[in-house]
Amino acid sequence: MSESLVTFPTQLDALHLLLATVALICIAFCLLAKSRKTTKHPDSEAAHTQIPKEVAATEKPETIECSANQQQAFINQGGLQLLSVLQQEGRFIDFLQEEVTHFSDEEVGAAARVIHQGCKKALNQMASLSPVCDQEEASPIALSADYDKNAYLLTGQVTGEPPFNGTLIHAGWKADRFEMPTLTHSNPNAIIAKAEVEL
């Protein structure tokens, strides 16, 4: 069955560059949240230490699971950490919080280029990305009846059941590696970037 898909712009301007950066950050947040859901409490390692056989025959080691609040705290800290790195390397928060309506397109474009370079550096330090689909964008694509619905988003006139024939608008992204920097201290006040004071 065929799909009529919307054609995307082919020229990359400052707005599209910024939107692409925001999209990558959203992907990183999703990956971070997914990876944190299975986090165990650090004390659970003690439950897996060796115990005498006579005890093991009657008792099972206790696995201590993180509570929902603890898991959410891990996710929140990781998210703040990600924003902190993007701010440090690319001044990402500064740019988004700036009122840009009174700047010219040339000024916004120049700022976006610097932010793009810094955020790309930060992203490359934390993750290795590759396309979901190896085909070239704007090329015909056939999706089988058992295609991965987590990997492909259908747009346009979607009717009926697969298989589908359409046009690849965007190749998607997946993370082959994702590593957040190790937290060295707690952050109860949700600080993303410290206030700078020159003496």
Asked if 163 and 142 count as a contact pair (C-beta separation under 8 A), the reply is yes
Residues 165 and 159: their CA atoms lie apart, in Å, by: 12
Confidence of residue 165 (pLDDT cuts 50, 70, 90): very high
More confident residue, 102 or 13: 102
Task: Give a yes or no: residue 6 inside a domain.
Answer: no
What share of the chain in percent tops pLDDT 90? Answer: 41
Domain that holds residue 74: 14-178
Task: Give a yes or no: residue 148 inside a domain.
Answer: yes
User: Which of 46-55, 62-71, 151-160, 177-186 bottoms out in mean pLDDT, i.e. has the lowest?
Assistant: 46-55
Task: Give a yes or no: residue 95 inside a domain.
Answer: yes
Q: Where are the alpha helices (DSSP H) in the chain?
A: 14-36, 53-56, 68-90, 92-97, 105-126
Task: Give a yes or no: residue 162 inside a domain.
Answer: yes
More confident residue, 123 or 4: 123
User: Which residues are CB-neighbours of 31 under 8 A, at least 6 positions away?
Assistant: 127, 175, 178
Overall number of domains in the chain: 1
Radius of gyration, alpha carbons of the chain = 23
Query: How many CB atoms neighbour CB 135 within 10 A?
Result: 11
What share of the chain in percent tops pLDDT 70? Answer: 58
Task: Give a yes or no: residue 43 inside a domain.
Answer: yes
pLDDT number for residue 8: 45
Task: Give a yes or no: residue 20 inside a domain.
Answer: yes
More confident residue, 185 or 8: 185
Task: Give a yes or no: residue 112 inside a domain.
Answer: yes
> By C-alpha distance, which of 35, 42, 86, 41 is closest to 193?
86
Task: Give a yes or no: residue 196 inside a domain.
Answer: no
User: Whole-model pTM?
Assistant: 0.56
Residues 68 and 85: their CA atoms lie apart, in Å, by: 26
Asked if 159 and 138 count as a contact pair (C-beta separation under 8 A), the reply is no
Helix, strand and coil in the chain, % to nearest 5: 45, 10, 45
More confident residue, 175 or 193: 175
More confident residue, 162 or 28: 162
